[in-house]
Copies of this chain bind each other. A is one copy, B any other.
Amino acid sequence: MLKNITKPTLILDKNRAITNIRQMAKKARISDVVFRPHFKTHQSAEIGEWFRKDGVQAITVSSLEMAQYFARNGWNDITIAFPVNLLEIPVISELAKSIRLGVLVDSDIAVKKLSEELKALVNVWIKVDVGYGRVGIPWEQWGKIVSLAKHIQNSSNLTFEGILTHNGHSYYAQNIAEIRAVYTQAHSRLLSVKEILSTSGLRTFKVSTGDTPCCSIIDDFEGVDEIRPGNFVFYDVTQASKGVCSYDDIAVAVACPVVGKYEERNQIVIHGGGVHLSKEFIADVEGNKLFGYLSNFCGGESIGSVNFDAPVVSLSQEHGTVNVSGKLFERVNIGDVVLVFPIHSCMTCNLFDEYVTLDGGRVSRI
């Protein structure tokens, strides 16, 4: 498959992605929650169809542009899980005329502007901050949440859809136990807000949560109506390193030509830099920066297993430097193509216009 590749190329293992989708869809069914996957990771209409085959009808995106793209591709129930951008109200109005559109708010000013300027009915979620500290009304500010919900309910062009959280701090957790602890705390905070809203006269609303670490680890979503994980479709080295998935679940890798080989330091240099992999890194066990791992791929029906002896140790704009020791160093040569598993698949995929599958097919992105 790599024979026709001459430059950095995003490779997709379709079987792995479909298995990842199927497993999360199954978990949602068993747990009796709506599966509203986040499509920001793959951003591909064709991959979206793989979700549809597993019964998915409603999706999440993180920008109005993505919402427009997926609406053009037949999706008619979309939540933009990002604080509503008030500068985009005219376009939001237009889109909301043709699909069921959800937006997020965490301020009075946003609700006021939406209710004044929207020209179509929009579903509004209140973003609640249950510990991540990025956006949302802090969970303990119950009065503010109740007041905002009523403000929404009283606006003729807004429907109060419910409360929505993103436990983004689960990405800071180092292992499964820590992820469970994040979920347990965040979940209890979320349910306390739900309880307060219910006893304040707001009854018919939903509770939405979701992030790949928690949704991969947790089985019991009691009190939650829908989950919105995204990264799980491809996973990556970060998630595997924490035990959220297996390394063999990682469904994307970047094919990179080898352009340099340096015996005195047991390194190779690949055409594969920050503009292909992104500059995301994690620390390896010794605390060194790790920008990815080579795959053991040498043909076959999957993109291969991770080669822990071949870490990408530095990246510049176009170059990647890989430590390669032992027999692999003898085998690999200038002019070969190697596969690199990414640290953060969302950021890596964003740098390419398309995926190439193992049978040479092309899958376009937004």
Contacts and interface: CB of A to CB of B under 8 A. Distances in A.
A292 B9 CA distance: 30
B279 A109 contact: no
A113 interface: yes
A243 interface: no
A278 interface: yes
Interface string A96-118: 00000000001101100100000
Interface of A: 5-7, 40, 62-65, 82-88, 91, 106-107, 109-110, 113, 133-135, 138, 168, 257, 259-262, 264-265, 269, 271, 274-275, 278-280, 314, 316-319, 321, 333-335, 337, 346-347, 350
Given A83-B259, A260-B135, A278-B274, A318 B63 contact: yes
Give the secondary structure class of A's interface: mixed
14 contacts: A7-B63, A7-B87, A82-B259, A82-B318, A82-B319, A87-B337, A107-B334, A109-B335, A134-B314, A134-B316, A275-B350, A278-B278, A279-B279, A317-B346
Residue with the greatest number of chain B CB neighbours at <10 A, chosen from A62, A85, A335: A85
Number of identical protomers: 2
Contacts of A337: 87
Contacts of A265: 133
Contacts of A260: 83, 106-107, 135
Contacts of A262: 135
Given A82-B319, A279-B280, 20 more contacts: A5-B87, A6-B85, A6-B87, A7-B63, A7-B85, A40-B318, A62-B318, A63-B318, A82-B318, A85-B259, A86-B257, A87-B257, A87-B337, A107-B261, A109-B334, A109-B335, A113-B335, A134-B314, A134-B316, A135-B259
Contacts of A257: 85-87
A83 B269 contact: yes
B317 A62 contact: yes
Contacts of A107: 260-261, 334
A88 to B, nearest CB: 5
A40 B317 contact: yes
